[in-house]
Structure 1
Amino acid sequence: MNLWKAMGTIGGLTMVSRVFGFAREMLMSRIMGASGAADAFLVAFRLPNTFRRLFGEGAFSAGFVPLFSQRFHGPGGMEEAKKFSEEVLAVFLPTLFVFTLVFELIMPLFVSAIASGYVGEKYDLTVFLTRITFPYLLLISLVSFFSGILNSLTRFAAAAFAPALLNIAMLAALLIVPDGGVRSATALAIGVTIGGVLQLILVWHGARKAGVSLRLRKPQITPSVKQFFIVVIPATLGAGVYQISQLIDTFFATRLPEGSMSYLNYSDRLNQLPLSVIGTALGTAILPQISRFIARNEPDEAARVQGQAVELSMLLCLPAALALAIVAGPLVTAMFEGGRFTVEDARITGNVLAIIVSGLPAYVLVKVITPGFYAREDTKTPVKTAVIVLVANIVLNFALIPPFGIYGLAFAIAACSWLNAIMLYLILRHRGHFRLEAKIWWRIARQLLAGLAMTAALWGTRSLLTGWFDGSVGHRLLGVAILVAVGGIVYFVVAWTIGAINREDVLILLRRKKAA
């Protein structure tokens, strides 16, 4: 499969989801503001999402997709792959049920440990909302299971579009209960669970259309399930270390002044757009391809795919990071300021965003580099690097948060992402599995040069549009649109002129479209 095409499918549909997500966040900021109820909901939403990333996405995909691909492309074909899926599902489903039930019972203790800064009514509301949202963990983990099947079959559309249904459900909740406060927070929590149900229906139906109709088996630890656990348990531990780091960030954020969770959430939403559209899309697209080449004993082809992914990710990610840092203030003002979200709230959120995006290229590189381990069924190495990153994150939080508050937390997040990306790359290179060729380094250097030219253009344009960001929502959004257009045009014109873009790949893609 062409990497541009795969990324286009995943990234395009992810962009659709992100558009709905931004509509949700824009509405939520105006209805909820940076209030105690907003903070309580954001913690309640983050907790099942943290475990979702632990069980459902990174760890599960790392173990499931390569093993499913091996069976599907092996002599057993689809029947063997379906049998493997049924055996895994038979163990995975009851495990999720038990895990969800246990946490529903111990939720007060869990919330008091994670959000120790919340007391009284805010604590009680957080517990109540988290009990509503926590079943989303079970639902979205099953979504990840069926998405893994679809991605292994290189059918990316349903899985990429599924998150849009969550955003639509939450949007509907805000529109139905727009009064803010506890009632809106409760409606949002219910919307999260409904969104999980809709996502599961979509990917389950997509798998059936792809010819994968699974039946429920009696749970048994078969040789295939043992193999799956051997791969996935270290990946879960690795993801667990990372998610513990996320919980630690939540712990510190809840001890900061009211609104801090909201500032962190809204800045992270903008940071997540290029991360999801570029990093997640590329990571999802290349894992089945690298797994296939490794299974065929073609390591050079696997390295070529990974190198192409790094080059493409930096082509798109470097300008995104630079642009977000330069226009963070106007962007946050245009997107979120209004209603209960004040000018001061927007200013703080913009500053947090400008710091966090300094780690954006590293976030994306981690998504692109880790498939090089997972495709070789090596999930232990990312565990070791994740432990180092966790320790570094705790040290930086204790060192930076007392003097700098929420800004220190943002810097620690960005710095630890770079530490993780550099370690993972150096390990792959040391083992001889992957190294960036000189031509890719030179192209990335040219991409950075084009990004600096774009930065200068954005500074000048932002100065000319200063008054626009103090006007109506329409003026603010138009100002952002002009900044995006100017930045995009300058970057890609300069990048094409100085050779920062692999012209051969682009021309091949254009010729294929013309032929089609």
Structure 2
Amino acid sequence: MEQQDTQAKKGGLLASTLVVSAMTLLSRVLGLVRDVVLARLLGASAGTDAFFVAFRIPNFLRRLFAEGAFNQAFVPVLSEYRSRSRDEGHLAASKLLIDRVAGTLGGVLVLVTVLGVIGAPLLIWVFAPGFGDDPHKRQLAVEMLRLTFPYLFFIALTAFSGAILNTWNRFAVPAFTPVLLNLSLIGSALLLAPHFAEGRMAVALAWGVLIAGVVQLMFQLPFLARLSLMPVPRMAWRDEGVRKILRLMAPALFGVSVSQINLLLDTVLASMLETGSVTWLYYSDRLTELPLGVFAIAIGTVILPSLSSKHANASPDAFSRTLDWGLRLVLLIGVPAALALAVIAEPLLSTLFNHGEFSANDVLRSAQSLRAYSVGLVAFMLIKILAPGFYARQDTRTPVKIGIIAMVANMVLNLILIWPLAHAGLALATSLAAWLNGGLLYIGLRRSGAYTPGQGWLAHWLRLLVAGATMAGTIYFMARQAQVWLHGPLTDRIVWLTLIVVAGVAVYLLTLVIVGLRPRHLRR
């Protein structure tokens, strides 16, 4: 992994992005394997609904506080301290900040974790009120939340460690770490679940989450030690750097994590719908997360330290060019990914999940919400690039205003669309709110002068539209030719889906070349 990071540093942002994307792709592929195992073992049952709620609550807090607001506030400040340390010729200032943040963050996490475990029944009542009609489902959710909530403590410190490594351009280790979560859940499903009684097998997954949190943190610590950055926790609420991070973090809670809040609201409302609704949303969201995590989050992870450094060094032109590069690259991936998810929703879900306890009806219902999420996929991806443009400049006020607007819009759209479209309406509301969020972020960057589009955008859009339309037509035609998706043998589905994916990628890339895209267009 260190060798990959060294090569990435020599190759610039694109090479670093490819390293993160490769590691994230491995994690997402294993995540799909995990979901296939869970779907086969448990289907869309009360146990899976309860587990996904119990896992989503600490996972939501992780993304909100650790990888969301905290990460976006911590990295710019740490980059500033690192630049200062370079000038002084030693790492003392950076190391002291790391120690004090570790102690302060760790203390807060201990308190939050204790409160979460004690208040598990209240949290389930708040975030899954519909479970009150099914005492068994509610009790399962409470029991599993008490196992999964401590995951927040370990994974938040893991994200803290990963932010340090990213700031020192060590991207491979943090990107690989989520693989351990998927391996833990797969192992728990296959090895622990059979030892639990019927109807309680999902509890094994909650144990898997807790184990994964410990393993992920332990995995990253040796790499921090090699950089002489192993934290020695010190409580320091009054430290200038800690206070600055807290000031930036407070409003960033809304600005960077609106999409996660919206997804959690979906879970709350879905818990009031028929059994299976939470699970259908989960599996469709998981497929949406594949391109989002592999590409958009990878690019956003790589450019945040770069943008922070350019802001610290007063390089506005380089700052704008880096954002421009990130937007072009994410659209190059996001447009075909969104089209593919919409066009071949049933083939994807059927091939991956339609066996064991996951029925044909589950495929069709999940496909409805997957298409709704695909409407907003490009917006989800753009937000991952646009938001760092604010946080790298230590501007947290603008994103929070935009986040509140988008969140209110999502709530209103949820109430409007849930009646005619049920769970799919919740997904569509999230997508539309994401477009509002992304659009306002873009306008804010333009108005502030932080971002000015470079040359060639018209040609870039034309290439994307022509290549995307050609690809969509190709995979639609191929998917219609196969009659195996809901009732055919699994091997036939795998063969057909592989052919469709390979053909779609080949047609898209070939069309891009024909219409004039060249490797130089991908370099910053």
TM-score, length-scaled by structure 1: 0.95
Matched letter for residue 104 of structure 1: V
Alignment of 1:87 with 2:100, yes or no, is yes
For residues 403-454 of structure 1, give each alpha carbon's deviation from its aligned partner in whole angstroms, at most 9, with x where no partner exists.
2101111110111111100000001101111132351243023112210010
For residues 300-321 of structure 1, give each alpha carbon's deviation from its aligned partner in whole angstroms, at most 9, with x where no partner exists.
0011011011111111111111
CA distance in 1: counterparts of 2:345 and 2:258, whole angstroms: 30
- Give the stretch that moved more between structures: 242-251 or 170-179: 242-251
Structure 1 residue runs without a partner (length 5+) = 510-516
The answer (yes or no) to whether the contact 2:75–2:305 under 8 Å persists in 1 is yes
Q: Could you tell me which residue of structure 1 aligns to residue 331 of structure 2?
A: 314
Matched letter for residue 30 of structure 1: R
Of 114, 119, 123 in structure 1, the residue corresponding to residue 138 of structure 2 is 123
Q: Could you tell me which residue of structure 2 aligns to residue 199 of structure 1?
A: 216
- 3-state DSSP class of the match of 1:117? helix
CA distance in 1: counterparts of 2:226 and 2:417, whole angstroms: 51
| Aligned 1:359-378 pairs, distance under 5 A | 359-378=376-395
Q: Give 1:472 deviation, angstroms.
A: 1.9
The answer (yes or no) to whether the contact 2:360–2:486 under 8 Å persists in 1 is no
| Aligned 1:387-398 pairs, distance under 5 A | 387-398=404-415
Alignment of 1:222 with 2:239, yes or no, is yes
Q: Could you tell me which residue of structure 2 aligns to residue 159 of structure 1?
A: 174
Q: Could you tell me which residue of structure 2 aligns to residue 302 of structure 1?
A: 319
- Give the stretch that moved more between structures: 457-466 or 27-36: 457-466
The answer (yes or no) to whether the contact 1:17–1:164 under 8 Å persists in 2 is yes
Q: Give 1:209 deviation, angstroms.
A: 2.0
Percent pairwise identity: 36
CA distance in 2: counterparts of 1:45 and 1:427, whole angstroms: 34
CA distance in 2: counterparts of 1:243 and 1:414, whole angstroms: 12
- Give the stretch that moved more between structures: 460-469 or 414-423: 460-469
Alignment of 1:40 with 2:32, yes or no, is no
The answer (yes or no) to whether the contact 2:297–2:381 under 8 Å persists in 1 is yes
Q: Give 1:178 deviation, angstroms.
A: 4.7
Alignment of 1:26 with 2:36, yes or no, is yes
The answer (yes or no) to whether the contact 2:369–2:425 under 8 Å persists in 1 is no
Alignment of 1:472 with 2:489, yes or no, is yes
Alignment of 1:401 with 2:418, yes or no, is yes
- 3-state DSSP class of the match of 1:370? helix
| Aligned 1:92-491 pairs, distance under 5 A | 92-119=105-132, 120-179=135-194, 181-239=198-256, 242-467=259-484, 470-491=487-508
Structure 2 residue runs without a partner (length 5+) = 1-8
CA distance in 2: counterparts of 1:178 and 1:472, whole angstroms: 27
Q: Could you tell me which residue of structure 1 aligns to residue 519 of structure 2?
A: 503
- Give the stretch that moved more between structures: 284-293 or 244-253: 244-253
Residue-pair matches, total: 507
Q: Give 1:240 deviation, angstroms.
A: 6.2
Matched letter for residue 147 of structure 1: G
The answer (yes or no) to whether the contact 2:54–2:142 under 8 Å persists in 1 is yes
CA distance in 2: counterparts of 1:280 and 1:72, whole angstroms: 23
- 3-state DSSP class of the match of 1:470? coil
For residues 312-351 of structure 1, give each alpha carbon's deviation from its aligned partner in whole angstroms, at most 9, with x where no partner exists.
1111111111111111101100000011110111111112
Alignment of 1:65 with 2:65, yes or no, is no
CA distance in 2: counterparts of 1:153 and 1:316, whole angstroms: 27
- 3-state DSSP class of the match of 1:262? helix
- 3-state DSSP class of the match of 1:354? helix
Q: CA RMSD in A?
A: 1.6
The answer (yes or no) to whether the contact 2:193–2:205 under 8 Å persists in 1 is no
The answer (yes or no) to whether the contact 1:235–1:383 under 8 Å persists in 2 is yes
Matched letter for residue 112 of structure 2: F
The answer (yes or no) to whether the contact 1:173–1:184 under 8 Å persists in 2 is no
The answer (yes or no) to whether the contact 2:62–2:156 under 8 Å persists in 1 is yes
The answer (yes or no) to whether the contact 1:470–1:476 under 8 Å persists in 2 is no
- 3-state DSSP class of the match of 2:446? helix
CA distance in 1: counterparts of 2:226 and 2:282, whole angstroms: 36
Q: Give 1:246 deviation, angstroms.
A: 3.0
TM-score, length-scaled by structure 2: 0.94
Q: Could you tell me which residue of structure 2 aligns to residue 513 of structure 1?
A: none
